[in-house]
Structure 1
Amino acid sequence: MMIALVLVVALTLLALVHWYVWRRTVRDVSAPGSVWRRVGTGLAVLLPLLSLGALIGGRALPLAVERWLAWPGYLWLAVLLYLVLALLVGEAVRPLLLRVGRRRGAVQPQAVPVAAGGAPAPAEQADPADPAEQAGRKGQGGPADPSRRLLVARGVAVAAGATAAAVVGNGAYGVLRGPRLKQVTVPLAKLPRQAHGYRIAVVSDIHLGPILGRAHTQRIVDTINRAQPDLITIVGDLVDGSVPELGPAAEPLAQLRARDGAFFVTGNHEYFSGAAPWVDFVRELGVHPLENARTELGHFDLAGVNDIAGTAEGQGPDYERALGDRDTRRAAVLMAHQPVAVHEAVRRGVDLQLSGHTHGGQLWPGNYLAELANPTVAGLERYGDTQLYVTRGAGAWGPPVRVGAPSDITIVTLASWQA
């Protein structure tokens, strides 16, 4: 019942938003029956249907079919967000533009009719029902005349559309070109002098699916290998689909190279797609899954826990298995997809937690929403004796667009206090 209610509310809100956009960008700027009115109305119906198809298609359609819905459907959601924001700004600007127009109209010199013989002609009685006369009075300080309103409406609509297109275009380019390398230094009190400068590549939220595929994985692998890290950590949300559909897209992960290897923990999206087959598949690629497990590296312990989403399947995080009975004199680094795991990490004496999940908000102002559910949205923060680093991720979920949250692969350089 609750799910149905939420669905109805969401669909109602989506319909109202599209009605508002249609009103401001189609109805208010075009004549009834015009080409733009017909085309704009058709798009106002088609685009939300494509978006809904993209959102639900992954659970019901083959990947090849889903791609045809995902590109226009997801991109439209991003355009819709910034188009609405730009139009709302336009609502504030619109009265100012109309007021400026009225003032300009008010200062125009008025011609005085002259009768025969040079005397001023008697003023004609204005017809209050005459539209021309009404427009003239409005131009002299009253409400804006229809032509001026149309001009302002078209100007606001064009400016809003151009702004949304530019923002989304730039955000899509940032995703499709691949993530950029980011450098962060993290001092650890328990890290021995010999491990000073140890470099960990942190990558998360690759989100292979109907839009991001094998080429995207190859860009990520090449970027990591060029950095020559000592260790590679993949902290969840690798895929949005099944192994048969997306296995070929993930195969470049077999090319990852690091002295101490590459490790993987599940994210919530792995459980949407079938986590167990993916765990087996990445193991075949030479990437080591840490399913509530720990491995002792040369100078610190590396642990990993399953994502919280696995709890419903009896495969949730088990911190006792991953961190219990370890030598607490050694530094511990924990891989956990969601930042909220830091509260348990603090209780377990973890020195550094590596997470993703948030995408840094992905689409501004989404970062403010992400802050409501995550202790840290992006970057490095300290919680007691535990430090938490959250990467913005290397891909994107839904729209292949990022605004205010560029994708990244982070090289975390560990520093010893004894060095």
Structure 2
Amino acid sequence: MLRWIVFVLIYLGLSFYIVQALRSLFRQPWVYLVYILVSLAILVNFIYQFTAGEEAGRVLSRPKSYAFGFLLTMMSFKLVIILFLFSEDIFRILSGVYQKLFGESKEFSLPERRRFLGMIALGIAALPFGALLYGMYKGKYNFKVLRYTLEFEDLPDSFDGYRITQISDIHSGSFDDRKKIEYGVDLINKQKSDLLLFTGDMVNNKTEEMLPWADLFSTLEAKDGKFSVLGNHDYGDYIAWETEASKQKNLQDLKDLQRNMGFDLLLNEHRYLQKGKDRIALVGVENWGKGGFKKAGDLKKASAQIHPNDFTILMSHDPSHWSEEVLHDEKHYHLTLSGHTHGMQFGIEIPGWVKWSPVKWRYPHWAGIYKELGQFINVNRGFGFLGYPGRVGIWPEITVLTLKKKTLT
């Protein structure tokens, strides 16, 4: 309760502070009255959804996600404006103090707010405000196909030109537009890759979230099959279960559902993909994550029966597994496929120029292709979304990887 009181007081304090600026900028009272009403509506909805709303507790339902999204949007607007206003107020106070100490009148008075600075603040604040609203309206389904060609000296000849489609982080419990998801699934199939790999987090918490979408994702196909692994959200660790047995049943139901959808779910296991006399090894581990995330992945067990010289592709949901264990393992994993980070669903990407997201401070390998010690990893930005119900700058991704035999010169 104390946390809610502190939060409300801070929110209302920021709102009141901004109203003072709006009153100096606009003569029409309706402008700041609209701001007050919208700001209060967002606050009340957020408090309701996270206290007395449907599915109260730790389940992040769609209403909760949107309540959080609108709060985040409004807070970004407030904070940008306050950054300008607070800076100006410091200048105004210093000017007043100077006038008191050294001025002719010896009176303390604050200069009026500069209207042009307030207008600049509003203009700049409108950018993240609009971007976050766009991210919720359209950005979350702005699917992008990203293509990479990777060269390997020891790639078996028969696999030269082999195409792999990777998707990750479906988070079906967050979906709210079937036609958009149908478009995304169709886009995956249009790639007509040899192999389809899903690298975890099919649901947010419960298997039942995937049931309305299972028939649609069952239509995914690839010539050499489709394979999957589990992500941290698939275990149901982030909600309270009535019993441990119900939690384990939920996990087993998800495993069964993935198999019924046509996925070969790899639980610390491997498979061989054969083309004529050539083959490559596909290894799938359960979730292994640094910093408090579940460490069910067992790399040694999964690859115990693989020949050391086999060309090997690893599916591991969390990219921290690559840097912490995979890179320095005695087995050489030519290509690792991960997801998990979502690219934080927020950032700036201009191919060939800039790639930035705050998530880089948590995950050094957070999106796209990286190469170290002769080994590649691709970190998929995710198909779905979680928490903030949108994406800004970091769009939902379908990855197409083409394996090429590197010619020696």
Interval containing the TM-score (normalised by the shorter chain):
0.7 to 0.9
Q: Give yes or no for contact 1:205–1:393 (8 Å, CA) kept in 2.
A: yes
1:168 alignment partner AA? L
Give unmatched runs, 5+ long, in structure 2: 93-104, 238-249, 349-354
Aligned match for 2:186, one of 215, 222, 245: 222
Evaluate the alpha carbon distance shift between residue 81 and residue 307 of structure 1 in structure 2; reply closer, same or farther with a 3 A threshold.
farther
Task: Tell me which residue corresponds to 2:69.
Answer: 75
Structure 2 residue 244 is matched with structure 1 residue 277: no
Q: Output one character per residue of 1:56-99: Cα deviation in whole Å (capped at 9) or x when no partner.
A: 947567x9xx434433x13214304532452255347747998x
1:29 alignment partner AA? L
How far, CA to CA, are the matches of 1:170 and 1:144 in structure 2? 38
Task: Tell me which residue corresponds to 1:122.
Answer: none
What is the DSSP-based 3-state SS (H/G/I as helix, E as strand, rest coil) of the residue aligned with 2:386?
A: coil
Task: Tell me which residue corresponds to 1:350.
Answer: 333
- For the aligned residues, what is the CA RMSD? 3.9
Evaluate the alpha carbon distance shift between residue 290 and residue 17 of structure 1 in structure 2; reply closer, same or farther with a 3 A threshold.
farther
Evaluate the alpha carbon distance shift between residue 236 and residue 55 of structure 1 in structure 2; reply closer, same or farther with a 3 A threshold.
farther
TM-score (norm 2): 0.76
After the TM superposition, which residues 161-176 of structure 1 pair with which residues of structure 2 at under 5 Å, given as runs? Answer: 162-176=126-140
What is the DSSP-based 3-state SS (H/G/I as helix, E as strand, rest coil) of the residue aligned with 1:26?
A: helix
Q: How far 1:169 sits from its partner (Å)? A: 2.9
Q: Output one character per residue of 1:355-385: Cα deviation in whole Å (capped at 9) or x when no partner.
A: 0111113224996542343230111112213
Q: Give yes or no for contact 2:142–2:395 (8 Å, CA) kept in 1.
A: no
Percent same amino acid among aligned pairs? 25
Aligned match for 1:22, one of 15, 19, 28: 15
Task: Tell me which residue corresponds to 2:318.
Answer: 338
Q: How far 1:284 sits from its partner (Å)? A: 0.4
Structure 2 residue 300 is matched with structure 1 residue 300: no
Moved more, 298-307 or 20-29: 20-29
Evaluate the alpha carbon distance shift between residue 408 and residue 198 of structure 1 in structure 2; reply closer, same or farther with a 3 A threshold.
same
What is the DSSP-based 3-state SS (H/G/I as helix, E as strand, rest coil) of the residue aligned with 1:303?
A: strand
What is the DSSP-based 3-state SS (H/G/I as helix, E as strand, rest coil) of the residue aligned with 2:50?
A: helix
How far, CA to CA, are the matches of 1:363 and 1:55 in structure 2? 27
What is the DSSP-based 3-state SS (H/G/I as helix, E as strand, rest coil) of the residue aligned with 1:387?
A: strand
Q: Give yes or no for contact 1:335–1:353 (8 Å, CA) kept in 2.
A: yes
How far, CA to CA, are the matches of 2:142 and 2:35 in structure 1? 39
Task: Tell me which residue corresponds to 2:396.
Answer: 407
1:201 alignment partner AA? T
How far, CA to CA, are the matches of 2:42 and 2:168 in structure 1? 35
How far, CA to CA, are the matches of 1:331 and 1:190 in structure 2? 7
Moved more, 22-31 or 346-355: 22-31
Q: How far 1:183 sits from its partner (Å)? A: 0.3
Aligned match for 1:328, one of 302, 308, 315: 308
Structure 2 residue 84 is matched with structure 1 residue 90: yes
Evaluate the alpha carbon distance shift between residue 311 and residue 280 of structure 1 in structure 2; reply closer, same or farther with a 3 A threshold.
farther
Evaluate the alpha carbon distance shift between residue 164 and residue 54 of structure 1 in structure 2; reply closer, same or farther with a 3 A threshold.
farther
Task: Tell me which residue corresponds to 1:203.
Answer: 167
After the TM superposition, which residues 3-402 of structure 1 pair with which residues of structure 2 at under 5 Å, given as runs? Answer: 14-15=7-8, 18-19=11-12, 21-30=14-23, 35-36=33-34, 39=37, 42-43=40-41, 45-50=43-48, 52=50, 57=55, 59=57, 66-71=61-66, 73-80=67-74, 82-91=76-85, 94=88, 143-145=110-112, 148=113, 151=115, 155=119, 158-159=122-123, 162-212=126-176, 214-272=178-236, 274-298=250-274, 299-308=279-288, 316-342=296-322, 343-346=324-327, 347=329, 348-364=331-347, 369-402=358-391
Q: Output one character per residue of 1:272-329: Cα deviation in whole Å (capped at 9) or x when no partner.
A: 2743321110110111111111100023111111113799999811112211121122
Evaluate the alpha carbon distance shift between residue 37 and residue 228 of structure 1 in structure 2; reply closer, same or farther with a 3 A threshold.
closer
How far, CA to CA, are the matches of 1:263 and 1:205 in structure 2? 14
Q: Output one character per residue of 1:8-42: Cα deviation in whole Å (capped at 9) or x when no partner.
A: 77x68855652453134335435999845862563
What is the DSSP-based 3-state SS (H/G/I as helix, E as strand, rest coil) of the residue aligned with 2:172?
A: coil
Q: Output one character per residue of 1:99-120: Cα deviation in whole Å (capped at 9) or x when no partner.
A: xxxxxxxxxxxxxxxxxxxxxx
How far, CA to CA, are the matches of 1:313 and 1:165 in structure 2? 32
Evaluate the alpha carbon distance shift between residue 291 and residue 81 of structure 1 in structure 2; reply closer, same or farther with a 3 A threshold.
farther
How far, CA to CA, are the matches of 2:135 and 2:293 in structure 1? 36
1:307 alignment partner AA? N
How far, CA to CA, are the matches of 1:350 and 1:58 in structure 2? 43
Give unmatched runs, 5+ long, in structure 1: 1-6, 99-127, 129-133
Task: Tell me which residue corresponds to 2:100.
Answer: none
Moved more, 296-305 or 246-255: 246-255
Larger radius of gyration between Structure 1 and Structure 2: 1
Q: Give yes or no for contact 1:82–1:167 (8 Å, CA) kept in 2.
A: no
What is the DSSP-based 3-state SS (H/G/I as helix, E as strand, rest coil) of the residue aligned with 1:255?
A: coil
How far, CA to CA, are the matches of 1:334 and 1:247 in structure 2? 28
How far, CA to CA, are the matches of 2:52 and 2:160 in structure 1? 47
Evaluate the alpha carbon distance shift between residue 248 and residue 207 of structure 1 in structure 2; reply closer, same or farther with a 3 A threshold.
same
**Whose helix proportion is higher, 1 or 2?**
1
Q: Give yes or no for contact 2:315–2:338 (8 Å, CA) kept in 1.
A: yes
Q: Give yes or no for contact 1:379–1:391 (8 Å, CA) kept in 2.
A: yes
